């Protein structure tokens, strides 16, 4: 036994300032941190210094759990989930950690006793926006649930220096600014340079015969990059488990440029360093479209290779033989972004650890599972062979070998079906040759899942049909979920307090318990409280909107909200057409009374997606006209909230009355915002798409505003020939709305501004807006009527919130654990390792 171990135990006895959670202890630690960590006297301290002092004291209080968890997993050699994702959209850490640790109230009180504005402190955190949207946020919710369920897990991804761009609105258009989230430092991460790994790129391969006379291949790269892991603790809710999010940063390998340096080529050496660091500079801001860029493939391989090598390091540390890799680790591929993992795992097992191909393939298949997040063909990743081969020559050989063996199997099962072979091949040979990443993921995984029932069914019928016919047993559905800790407890403290008062503690761990609120749905006292809770959140948001944009919105109006990435398939422009219809009717009938509504939009457009940017311009232009027009008598407001992100979204969901989930049926794989709205008591107007279908089943059809074509009807209509112009010509209201936009009424007389958008609707309309327009407008009328019966609306709102238990990500993660990962909880008892006070 080392002396340090005894001393360590002794040292634990006297650490109140690091562990204490009484208000006094927190104040003490805060002041100490201001002095010793920030190095500032109070007289010079900024708000950000206060935030840092607070963040550090929270981190200190997590470290016992984090170290204890690491020690426990190592000792028990626990089976571990490795969640590989190019995106983790975590959102701000501070508030969430306070909730999960159960010290939110004490910390708030301590800060207030020091005369500090607690909300203001929380607002200092620049959120790590390391994701685009749903896919990245889902990964973050799953990390929270895995930790809360005490499931051993590691999140592996990329530490982008610049996350998703910051959106500004200038003259109604989106502008992009770099997101310098690390500028003021990141108190939540710990760099682990001692676990840095080397990643190879380019070059060529050569074969050789080893000492035992066996034929082998080695990869001789032309570039090597160093990956340094940065670890962030992921604390579970009310448990001692703190798992790890491990993000890789690319750096130059020092020894690599040393020689150049010594030859006097100083700039050459620095260039090498700069080019290596570029690898993890920036997140690609495309949501569901592939960029096809070399740097993107490099990013993908970089983080995958680092992560797999890290797993081998862990195996070695726990003296587990490489043959047991798949027993130790269960790897989940979050879409195809990390799908190169199967080729890299094969390379490591065959070339580095000298395993037989068949054994390696068995291990690989048993280790991997693949989640598909979209049916949109433009999102399916494929890489030109020339690009792929120049960057990853050995992996291309391995993929060819996998393909040869795989197509042999297909040929045996489906003789003389060459069309099928062509479709299923890992290589697209129809024109320029490509590697198809979804095919690689399907072949290399033991399980393939979609993210909502409808989506999983459509996968089997469309994009993955051939794979379903070959491997039906691989397919399953895992309906998405979201974490109630962030999306209720942290975002909506008023709702949280009300629920706890009625049904006691425990429901944030077992969200199904909120069912108990159903009996209160018609209780007028409870309804009044509910109404006050909603109104308070609406007043708060209205206050922010006034402060930020100088626009007054009436908090008693209905808040009709669509927040999500801007995309044609999500149909923000259908929402806009409805607004234009209302606007036009009010202008034509100045006496008309409508239900006053505040339309709120938020969302980023991919910088190169011109149509999406034009959709933003349309919304802001309609808002500009409507918000200032006295003829409308304040019955209609249109607000575009700039820079929609996790932080802002937490203020939006609690303040929403109506949740817009209006994608073309069959296009939205699941949606997760839809769940956050309903949990916070918003009612949904939506199509039968993604998880809307299951949400409607859960909350009851009578508490959901359904409209529009079904996925089958959409497909049938397209098949039979759809002419959108007929709808325009046949519907005077639709014609009026489109003509008004075309006239330049919303664009200072410039009739050409929105022409590309209108032409696309009139002559192509791939997302069937015109076909769904009338159903949508009619449904919105039903919504208005329903809102006027406030008692009934409150009842529906309460029922929605009480029936959303199924959509907790705890349920999703439990299903993954049982069906896919085959892992069980491994509770951590930190008292076994370290004494914790307070």
Q: Among all residues, which ones are annotated catalytic? A: 373, 564-565, 570, 672, 676
Contact between residue 421 and residue 407 where contact means Cβ atoms under 8 Å apart: yes
- Beta carbon nearer to ligand AZC, 510 or 697: 697
Element (H, E) at 23: helix 23-36
Give the shortest CB-211-to-ligand AZC separation in angstroms. 46
Give the shortest CB-492-to-ligand AZC separation in angstroms. 21
d(CA 393, CA 219): 8
Give the shortest CB-87-to-ligand AZC separation in angstroms. 8
d(CA 797, CA 112): 34
Give the shortest CB-330-to-ligand AZC separation in angstroms. 19
d(CA 126, CA 112): 22
Q: Which residues bind ligand AZC (CB under 6 A)?
A: 133-135, 138, 287-288, 335, 373-374, 379, 451, 480, 668-672, 690
Bridge pairing between strands 190-191 and 223-235: antiparallel
Mention every residue, 6+ apart, whose C-beta is less than 8 A from residue 686: 659, 660, 661, 662, 674, 692, 695, 696, 704, 705, 706, 707
d(CA 354, CA 356): 7
CA distances from 529 to 534, 535, 794 (A): 9, 10, 10
- Beta carbon nearer to ligand AZC, 451 or 545: 451
Give the shortest CB-591-to-ligand AZC separation in angstroms. 43
d(CA 216, CA 206): 8
d(CA 461, CA 470): 13
Give the shortest CB-480-to-ligand AZC separation in angstroms. 5
- Beta carbon nearer to ligand AZC, 563 or 582: 563
- Beta carbon nearer to ligand AZC, 20 or 134: 134
Contact between residue 57 and residue 35 where contact means Cβ atoms under 8 Å apart: no
Contact between residue 396 and residue 389 where contact means Cβ atoms under 8 Å apart: yes
- Beta carbon nearer to ligand AZC, 138 or 508: 138
Element (H, E) at 794: helix 790-802
List, in sequence order, the alpha helices (H) in 550-630.
Answer: 572-588, 610-628
Place of tokens 């069912």: 515
Mention every residue, 6+ apart, whose C-beta is less than 8 A from residue 228: 191, 192, 193, 195, 196, 248, 249, 251
d(CA 605, CA 603): 7
Tokens of 576: 């806009």
Contact between residue 221 and residue 253 where contact means Cβ atoms under 8 Å apart: no
Give the shortest CB-450-to-ligand AZC separation in angstroms. 9
Q: Please give the residue whose beta carbon sits closest to ligand AZC in the complex.
A: 134
d(CA 427, CA 724): 37
Give the shortest CB-150-to-ligand AZC separation in angstroms. 24
- Beta carbon nearer to ligand AZC, 450 or 623: 450
Give the shortest CB-547-to-ligand AZC separation in angstroms. 31
- Beta carbon nearer to ligand AZC, 389 or 690: 690
Backbone dihedral angles phi then psi of residue 562, each to the nearest 5 degrees: -130, 105
Looking at residue 486, the DSSP 8-state letter turns out to be: I
3-state secondary structure 38-78: CCCCHHHCCHHHHHHHHHHHHHHHHHHHHHHHHHHHHHHCC
- Beta carbon nearer to ligand AZC, 467 or 807: 807
Which stretches of 674-825 are assigned E, i.e. beta strand? 683-686, 705-706
- Beta carbon nearer to ligand AZC, 166 or 668: 668
Contact between residue 541 and residue 625 where contact means Cβ atoms under 8 Å apart: no
- Beta carbon nearer to ligand AZC, 38 or 672: 672
Give the shortest CB-686-to-ligand AZC separation in angstroms. 13
Exposure on the CB side of residue 816, measured as CA atoms within 13 A: 35
């Amino acid at each position: 036994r080392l002396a340090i171990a005894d001393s360590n135990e002794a040292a634990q006895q006297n650490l109140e300032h690091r562990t204490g959670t009484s208000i006094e202890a927190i104040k003490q630690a805060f002041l100490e941190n201001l002095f010793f960590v920030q190095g500032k006297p109070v007289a010079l301290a900024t708000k950000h210094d206060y935030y840092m002092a607070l963040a550090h004291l929270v981190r200190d209080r997590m470290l016992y759990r984090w170290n204890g968890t690491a020690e426990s997993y190592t000792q028990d050699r626990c089976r571990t989930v490795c969640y590989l994702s190019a995106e983790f959209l975590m959102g701000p850490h501070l508030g969430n950690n306070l909730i999960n640790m159960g010290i939110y109230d004490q910390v708030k009180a301590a800060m207030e006793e020091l005369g500090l504005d607690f909300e203001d402190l929380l607002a200092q955190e620049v959120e790590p926006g390391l994701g685009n949207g749903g896919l990245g946020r889902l990964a973050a919710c799953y990390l929270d649930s895995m930790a809360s369920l005490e499931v051993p897990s590691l999140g592996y991804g990329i530490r982008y220096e610049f996350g998703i761009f910051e959106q500004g609105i200038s003259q109604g258009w989106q502008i992009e600014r770099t997101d310098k989230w690390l500028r003021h430092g990141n108190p939540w991460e710990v760099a682990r340079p001692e676990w840095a790994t080397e990643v190879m790129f380019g070059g060529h391969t050569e074969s050789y015969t080893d000492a035992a006379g066996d034929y082998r291949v080695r990869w001789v790269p032309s570039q090597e990059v160093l990956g340094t892991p940065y670890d962030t603790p992921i604390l579970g809710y009310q448990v001692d488990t703190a798992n790890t999010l491990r993000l890789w940063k690319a750096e130059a390998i020092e020894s690599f440029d040393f020689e150049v340096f010594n030859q006097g080529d100083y700039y050459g050496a620095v260039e090498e360093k700069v080019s290596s660091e570029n690898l993890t500079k920036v997140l690609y801001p495309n949501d569901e479209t592939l960029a096809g860029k070399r740097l993107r493939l490099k990013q993908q391989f970089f983080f995958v290779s680092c992560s797999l090598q890290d797993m081998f390091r862990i195996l070695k540390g726990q003296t587990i033989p490489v043959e047991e890799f798949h027993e130790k680790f269960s790897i989940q591929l979050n879409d195809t972004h990390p799908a190169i993992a199967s080729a890299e795992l094969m390379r490591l097992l065959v070339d580095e650890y000298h395993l037989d191909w068949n054994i390696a393939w068995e291990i690989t298949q048993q280790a991997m599972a693949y989640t598909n997040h979209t049916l949109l063909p433009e999102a399916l990743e494929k890489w030109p062979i020339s690009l792929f081969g120049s960057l990853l020559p050995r992996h291309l050989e391995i993929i060819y070998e996998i393909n040869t063996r795989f197509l042999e199997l297909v040929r045996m099962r489906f003789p003389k079906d060459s069309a099928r072979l062509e479709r299923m091949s890992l290589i697209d040979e129809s024109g320029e040759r490509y590697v198809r990443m979804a095919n690689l993921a399907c072949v290399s995984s033991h399980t393939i899942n979609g993210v909502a029932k409808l989506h999983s069914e459509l996968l089997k019928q469309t994009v993955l049909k051939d794979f379903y016919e070959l491997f039906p047993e691989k397919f399953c559905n895992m309906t998405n979920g979201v974490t109630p800790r962030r999306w209720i407890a942290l975002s909506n403290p008023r709702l949280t307090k009300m629920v706890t008062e009625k049904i006691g503690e425990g429901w944030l761990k077992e969200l199904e318990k909120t069912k108990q609120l159903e009996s209160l749905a018609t209780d007028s006292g409870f309804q009044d409280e509910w109404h006050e809770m909603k109104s308070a959140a609406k007043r708060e948001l209205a206050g922010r909107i006034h402060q930020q944009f100088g626009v007054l919105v009436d908090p008693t109006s209905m808040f009709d909200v669509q927040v999500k990435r801007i995309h044609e398939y999500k149909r923000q422009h259908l929402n806009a057409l409805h607004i234009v219809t209302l606007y036009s009717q009010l202008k034509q009938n100045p006496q008309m009374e409508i239900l006053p509504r505040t339309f709120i939009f938020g969302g980023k457009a991919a910088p190169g997606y011109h149509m999406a940017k034009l959709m933003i311009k349309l919304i802001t232009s309609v808002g500009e006209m409507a918000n200032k027009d006295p003829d409308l008598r304040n019955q209609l407001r249109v607000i575009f909230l700039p820079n929609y992100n996790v932080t802002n979204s937490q203020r939006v969901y609690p303040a929403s009355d109506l949740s817009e989930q209006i994608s073309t049926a069959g296009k939205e794989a699941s949606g997760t915002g839809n769940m956050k709205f309903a949990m916070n008591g918003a009612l949904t107007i939506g199509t039968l798409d993604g998880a809307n279908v299951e949400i409607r089943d859960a909350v009851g059809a009578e508490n959901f505003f359904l409209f529009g074509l079904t996925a089958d009807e959409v497909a049938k209509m397209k098949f039979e020939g759809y002419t959108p112009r007929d709808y325009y010509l046949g519907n005077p209201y639709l014609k009026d709305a489109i003509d008004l936009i075309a006239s330049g009424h919303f664009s200072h007389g410039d009739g050409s501004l929105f022409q590309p958008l209108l032409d696309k609707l009139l002559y192509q309309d791939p997302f069937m807006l015109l076909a769904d327009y009338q159903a949508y407008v009619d449904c919105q009328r039903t919504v208005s009527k329903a809102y006027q019966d406030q008692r009934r609306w409150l009842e529906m709102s309460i029922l929605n919130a009480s029936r959303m238990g199924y959509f907790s990500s705890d349920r999703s993660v439990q299903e993954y654990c049982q069906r896919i990962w085959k892992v069980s909880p491994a509770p951590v008892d930190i008292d076994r390792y370290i004494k914790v006070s307070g």
